[in-house]
Structure 1
């Protein structure tokens, strides 16, 4: 089963019920809070994740992600959790400093 490791949440490991789920759905299904100001519609970049390893396990870049990359709001190692789908394997990510939630306790 696909799994996600959130490195700066003390290497929290969460798993998916199956493949082809949006990353933010997996995160929220595992009771982890994650910023998403536009309601998971791909209209902002607040749900952005920094991909440390496992980019090959994600779906192709969506039109919205390509748009934000073109604007310089997403780097090549960043994806939107509301757009990217985890298809297989393990994904190691980090929460962007800019979008950390104030009530969460983050590690390094």
Structure 2
């Protein structure tokens, strides 16, 4: 039976089948949500907050818990959308503000511009560049290094 999931702060609703994960609902609504680890619960790119209906989701697994522990913006309402399966009704999901660095298509084009939103680290969710801050060449180098490190980490976890 299908369940309706509310997405905030964008005031949208998504219909999802029972036992499907929240990530599928986010992707079905054409939101730019990444799944860097392929939905295995190893990265922070699908980190969301559950503002209502935590009891309507599957329990947190050990792998998800380990990943949540390293996300700097994690709180008691945090879940990884790829791991949280919808079992009941009344789920309201709040999307974190910001964009993960690996969602930036052309990092070089950002030089000299102000960040339109926070740019986040893909593995731990920390803010790399704050919204409104000027993006400098040195920041771009750090962002590129972060992309490379995240790619290496995720490639290594795939092999393991």
**What TM-score, normalized by structure 1, do the two folds share?**
0.78
> How many residues get paired?
102
CA RMSD of aligned residues (A): 2.4
Alignment of 1:1-108 (within 5 A): 1-9=2-10, 11-16=11-16, 18-71=17-70, 73=72, 74-99=74-99
The answer (yes or no) to whether the contact 1:35–1:99 under 8 Å persists in 2 is no
Kindly name which structure, 1 or 2, has the bigger radius of gyration based on alpha carbons: 2
CA offsets, 1:41-72, max 9 Å, x none?
21111101111111010000012122134446
Which sections of structure 2, spanning at least 5 residues, go unmatched? 105-160
Which is strand-richer, 1 or 2?
1
Which sections of structure 1, spanning at least 5 residues, go unmatched? 103-108
Which is helix-richer, 1 or 2?
2
Relative to 1, partners in 2 of residues 1:2 and 1:92: Cα closer, same or farther, differing over 3 Å?
A: same
Larger RCO: 1 or 2 (CA < 8 Å, sep 6+): 1
Question: Which secondary structure does the structure 2 equivalent of 1:60 belong to?
Answer: coil
